[in-house]
Structure formats: C-alpha cells, structure tokens
Structure 1
Amino acid sequence: MKIRNLLPLLLIFMLLTTLFSGCISLGEIINGSDVNTSPNTSDNLTNNSNVSTNVSNETNKSNGTNETNGTNDTNETKVCGICGEDLRPTTRVNVSAFNIQIFGASKASNAEVMDVLAKTIRNYDIIGVQEIRDASGESLPKLVQLVNSGTDENGTPYNYDYVVSSRLGRSSSKEQYAYIYNKDKVYVASEPITYPEPDGADPFEREPYMVTFRSNIGNFDAVFILIHTKPDDAKAEINELNHVVEYAKTIYVGQENYVIMGDFNADGSYFNESGSSDLKSEKYVWLIGNNMTTTTKTNNTYDRIVITKSLEPYVTGNLGVYNYSAAYGLNATQTTAVSDHYPVYAEFFAWVAEWGRMLFIKTESGVSA
C-alpha cells in the first residue's frame, strides 16, 4: 500500500491517541527485569456508587470441603461513570503469584516472616498463594488479618480479602491454593472452582484453582488459574494446562481472558524452558521470561505468569520478579525462612479502549512466548 493511502488512517489514529492519551501504550515493549527490588504501589480509589455481587462458596464433591473466603462474600463494584474524574486510564491492576513454601502454623508464628509476607502482599491487588499446608486453617486468615493491619502512605486502611481452595494432593501432604485480593481494586466475579479432572484421568498432583476477577474501575476482566505442579511431572502438567483453559471456556462462556500462574517448576531438570509445549502456542504469552530468577537458592525460573493473547493489550510492561530480600534488607537465613521462591508479578491496565485493544491486537507487540 502506498504511503499516501495510509495518511488518513494515521491522522485518525493520532487524533484518537490524543483523545485517549494515557489509556494505552500501543508501542510499549514488555521488558521485565530479572529481579525487582522496588515495591509496586497500589492505588486506593474511592467513589460514590457501589453494586453488590454475591459469590457462592464451592463445595468440593470429593471430600465435602467448602471452598470459601471465610469472610463477607459481598463485594463492591465501583462504577466510574459518575466519578468526578475518569480514573480508568490511570488505574492499574497488579498481579502476583507466590509459593510461600510450607506455609503453616510454624511459619505463621514467626513474626518477622509474617511481616515480610504481609508487606510483600500489599504491593499487589491479586496474589495467588501456593503451598499452604495448615490443616487447622488458621494460618491464612492470620496472614490476611496482618495484611489489613495499619494503613498505606495516604492513611487509607488496607482492605484485602481471600478465597481458598480445599486441601489438594494425592499424598497425605495436602496443600491449598488461595487468592488474596485488594477489594479496593478488584472483586470476585465468579464462583471459585477446582478443576475437575476427566473421568479415569489424574493429570495433576494438585488440581488448578480458578476464579474470575474484575477491576472495580475499568474493564479488566479475566479468569485466573493457579497451579503448583509436581516437579517430576512438570512437563506433563504444564502441557495439560491448555486443556484446563479449554475446559474453563465451557464454564465461563464467552470469556477469552485467562491468566495462568504459579510455581510451574518450569526449569532445570524438570522442564526444558526453551523447548516446545502445548502452552507455548500462538494463543499464549509467557510474561515471565527464561532469563529471570524466581528462586532464592538457585538461578531457575520455576514460577511463571502466562496470559492468553487477548489480554496482551492490558499489559503495561511492568513485570518481573520481586526480590523481598533486597527490598527489606534480609540476610540469607532470613530470606530462606520466608520462602525458597520470590513472587513473580505483572501489571495490567484496568481499562483499555475497544478501538485501542483492536489496534494493539493487529500490531506487533514485541512480547515473545
């Protein structure tokens, strides 16, 4: 096509960019750092209207265990249409996945460890926690209570809640998944469910745990799928995650936005991170690259955040690994007392204009799987 034929389209694009300045960066390249030592700051926003959404508790049919947040399941939807200022273009949703390594009564009784965990969690609006091993069920509520203690730099009280799975695993060493989320930024928009494995099959040591989150302001809307693979079966379990997404599409009809995250064990002797995988098709984007170190004792990239292509325009480019050791001045002993993993994170725009989203999809983003 000749250049003069493109001029009208370029003029229209420049006009729209001016009108919607700040709501999307079409040319931004996602370039995550290896280890980030600076906390992400979450915006605490208020408004004049709210809509209540009730979220039911799931009952795990295999053992009768309720999957619940253990607290008030009514969440407020903040509608920006009547705000004095349109906050959608500037609002962000910070997402993280964190394997906190054998989190139970012993770790919950360590005040120093709990302080680090609470401060780390406050950097994010949705954090998928793995390896909760507390049969009493007391450690997670204790952690969330600590997260909510005190106020942010603006004097606003923290407002986090959680949803948690049943205890999962083939052996007696059961684990739970949990999503801890900032109610001032997002809300639970679907019933949390554990992936029901096909009859006669048992592909996962711990079946993935999924739920929909939506931003209170804007149009960010995605199903989150949390996974902690069995190391020796990492390759097979990672490949099986594509089937989990396809199953989820039959439950969340019409939903195309998915975030798959957690401890994939996607490196070292467990998984060829440069090799092929069913989860590396053109449908997916791996946000945490192979060059990033996600463990505190090795150079491996076990932990990942993978999104479906439809979510790519929402990615701000701020992503990577959060080094709580450097951020809080911990020595080696203090670091390993917290976990053998660092949390991985990615930041998303809370709102992307439809025209911008379509243009972004049709342009080269610079993100590689």
Structure 2
Amino acid sequence: MSPHNLLPLFLLALLWVTGAPFRICAFNTQHFAQGKADKADVMDIFVKILSRCDISVLQEVMDAKGKAVPALLAVLNSFDSSGHYKYLASPLLGRSNYQERYVFIYRSLRTQLLDSYTYEDNHPDRPDIFTREPFVARFTVPSKVLSDVVLIPQHTMPSKAETEIDALYDVFLNVRDRWNTEDMIFLGDFNADCGFVAKKRWGQIRLRQQPDFHWLIGDKADSTVRENTRCAYDRIVVHGDRCLGVVIPGSARPFDFPKEYGLSEAEALKVSDHYPVEVELNTACHRFQPAGVILLALAMLSGSGYGI
C-alpha cells in the first residue's frame, strides 16, 4: 500500500482512537432515484453531505430498481477514500404505487450493523397505522458508555403525522421487548410542524409527552430549504439515559447545506427541499490507550513496507 493510500486510513484510526464525535444524520432526499444519481452536480452535494456523517438515515428513496443507492455509495467511497461506507436498505414500503425505502449509509470503520427488522404494523388496537412502517436498525457506537444504539427512522404521511408520531411509542415498546434495550434514536421527516401537527395535539402524542423522550430538534427550528417556509418537519428524538448522556449538548441541528456549499435556492432544490438533521455523540477510546496511536501507526506503516 502506498503512503498516499495509507494516510486516510491512519487519520481515520487516529480519530477513532482519540474519541472523535460520532455523527448521526437523517435526510429526506426528496424522491432520490436514478434521475438524481445521473446528475454529477447533485451527486457531488450528496456525497459532501453524507461524508460528514458516520451514519446517515435516508428517507424518500424511490429507487425501485435498486441501482441508484449503489451508484451513490460508489461515488461516496470514491470521494472519501477513508470512509469504507456500506449501506442497508429496507424493502419498498408504502401503499399503492407510491413506495419508498429507508436507507442507512454507514462508515464501517467506525460502526457495525448488529441487526435490523421491519416493524410489523399489526398492533391489535391500532392496526396498519403507518403508511411506511419503520425499518429499525441497531448499530455499534465507539464509546465506553454506550456500546450500541437503535435507530428508528420515520417519514410520516403529512395528513397522518399526528397519528404516526404517536404510534412511534408502540414501536419503542416493540423494540424494547425484542432487543431488551432502552437506547434509541427516532429520526426523520416527521412532518411535525406547519399545520400537520396542531399545537393542541402535542399533549396527546405519547412520544412527546412521556418524560423519557427528549426532542433534540425544537419546534422553532427550520429544516426546509425554501426561503418562504420555516417548518420544523425533521426531528431527532432520543430515549435512554446512556444515549442521552453521550449526546454533545447543542450538536443537534438542521444542517444548512445551501449556505455551507454556497448554493442558490434553485441549486439546492435539485438536491432536496429538506435540510438534513444531525446529532453528535461523545465517544472515547475503548480498546487502546493513548500510546496505541503510535503503535497503530507503526503497525500500519510496517505492513505497507515503509519504515519510519
């Protein structure tokens, strides 16, 4: 291996060992399919956004033939050679001809997929609540405090946002019983604002009212690209004392990618009409002492055939 190829791996290892924050993102990609995958300028922005995240949870992926996501991953791995990104895609979910996938894209040098399943929407009192059932995944976290976390994405039907957000509490109970864990993050486009959830209804939504659920993206946030809207559609909700304990205060926010990358509104809308939302978790070395950085560097350079 050449020094040029070795450097990104060493830098990533250095970040992992020294406890770099672990960033989890959710992004409504607005009809992501082959049409967007074929546009180089759009893909360039997508990979810049996704390369910031250790796990990205994509919604509104309408990749019926299953080709657009692998194309995105190939460009992402080419853009960020240190990333070694993998992905997990749900089945097509939805009713009639309008179907979407949830897609997890994750940096495999920092996290591993432990398990996943599609929530069975057959609650005896409230059957078939979700237009698109949650696709639940469990990932490792490089932390002394939190070894793994469950991610539960949801893209609600706007007209059913109140009901579907409330029903995420049933998903919480299902995950807790299935995997015996309290550490969960609900994230995605909940359509949780601007007329889809009435203010007077928040008091009746269990995911909002139960005291152990912490809404990290507030009601006054703006997760929309259009300049004439200001809506907190996209949210991140954390459950579990350990999970909440590793959240870096103030790190949960929408990511204003048009501002970050100098895009006009029209240019940004080619990517999506939503901002991604993100949160960072504190991590710490759980396998190496500080001297391990030097030992790791020596081992990597030795294996490459280059001396120091």
Distance change >3 Å, CA 110–CA 302, structure 1 → 2: same
Q: Distance between the aligned counterparts of 2:26 and 2:196, measured in 1? A: 19
Question: What amino acid sits opposite 1:193 in the alignment?
Answer: Y
Q: Distance between the aligned counterparts of 1:338 and 1:289, measured in 2? A: 24
The answer as to 2:64 corresponding to 1:138 is: no
Q: CA deviation at 1:291?
A: 1.6
- 1:119-147: CA deviation from partner (whole Å, max 9, x where unpaired): 10000101100001121110001111111
Q: Distance between the aligned counterparts of 1:301 and 1:86, measured in 2? A: 32
The answer for the alignment partner of 1:117 in structure 2 is 46
The answer as to 2:189 corresponding to 1:263 is: yes
One of 72, 86, 104 as aligned partner of 1:161: 86
The answer for the alignment partner of 1:306 in structure 2 is 237
- 1:295-325: CA deviation from partner (whole Å, max 9, x where unpaired): 1121000000000042211111222111110
In the alignment, is the contact (CA less than 8 A) between 2:16 and 2:285 conserved in 1? no
In the alignment, is the contact (CA less than 8 A) between 2:89 and 2:103 conserved in 1? yes
1:94-113 equivalence runs, <5 A = 94-113=23-42
The answer for the alignment partner of 1:238 in structure 2 is 165
Q: CA deviation at 1:333?
A: 1.1
The answer for the alignment partner of 1:315 in structure 2 is 247
The answer for the alignment partner of 2:119 in structure 1 is 195
Q: CA deviation at 1:150?
A: 3.4
| TM-score where L is the length of structure 1 | 0.69
1:159-308 equivalence runs, <5 A = 159-190=84-115, 192-198=116-122, 201-216=127-142, 218-220=144-146, 221-253=148-180, 255-272=181-198, 275-276=202-203, 277-280=205-208, 281-297=210-226, 298-308=229-239
The answer for the alignment partner of 1:128 in structure 2 is 57
Query: What runs of 5+ residues in structure 2 fail to find an aligned partner?
Result: 1-9, 287-308
Q: CA deviation at 1:269?
A: 1.1
| TM-score where L is the length of structure 2 | 0.82
In the alignment, is the contact (CA less than 8 A) between 2:17 and 2:285 conserved in 1? no
Question: Deviation above 4 Å: which 4+ runs of structure 1?
Answer: none
CA RMSD of aligned residues (A): 2.1
Q: CA deviation at 1:326?
A: 0.7
Q: Distance between the aligned counterparts of 2:63 and 2:16, measured in 1? A: 43
Q: Distance between the aligned counterparts of 1:314 and 1:197, measured in 2? A: 31
Q: Secondary structure at the match of 1:178?
A: strand
Distance change >3 Å, CA 44–CA 249, structure 1 → 2: farther
Question: What amino acid sits opposite 1:225 in the alignment?
Answer: I
Distance change >3 Å, CA 44–CA 166, structure 1 → 2: farther
- 1:335-368: CA deviation from partner (whole Å, max 9, x where unpaired): 1110010000000112499xxxxxxxxxxxxxxx
The answer as to 2:267 corresponding to 1:334 is: yes
In the alignment, is the contact (CA less than 8 A) between 2:17 and 2:284 conserved in 1? no
Distance change >3 Å, CA 86–CA 237, structure 1 → 2: closer
- 1:204-253: CA deviation from partner (whole Å, max 9, x where unpaired): 00000111111245443111101100000000000000000100111112
Q: Distance between the aligned counterparts of 1:93 and 1:240, measured in 2? A: 28
Q: Distance between the aligned counterparts of 1:338 and 1:272, measured in 2? A: 29
Q: CA deviation at 1:272?
A: 2.9
Q: Secondary structure at the match of 1:313?
A: helix
Question: What amino acid sits opposite 2:46 in the alignment?
Answer: L
Q: Distance between the aligned counterparts of 1:309 and 1:213, measured in 2? A: 15
- 1:27-50: CA deviation from partner (whole Å, max 9, x where unpaired): xxxxxxxxxxxxxxxx95438xxx
Distance change >3 Å, CA 149–CA 218, structure 1 → 2: farther
Instruction: Report the identity percentage.
Output: 32
The answer for the alignment partner of 1:54 in structure 2 is none
How many equivalent pairs are there?
Answer: 267
Q: Distance between the aligned counterparts of 2:114 and 2:76, measured in 1? A: 22
Structure with the higher fraction of residues in helix conformation: 2
Q: Distance between the aligned counterparts of 1:304 and 1:179, measured in 2? A: 17
Q: Distance between the aligned counterparts of 2:260 and 2:285, measured in 1? A: 31
Q: Distance between the aligned counterparts of 1:266 and 1:327, measured in 2? A: 25
Q: CA deviation at 1:158?
A: 2.3
In the alignment, is the contact (CA less than 8 A) between 2:258 and 2:268 conserved in 1? yes
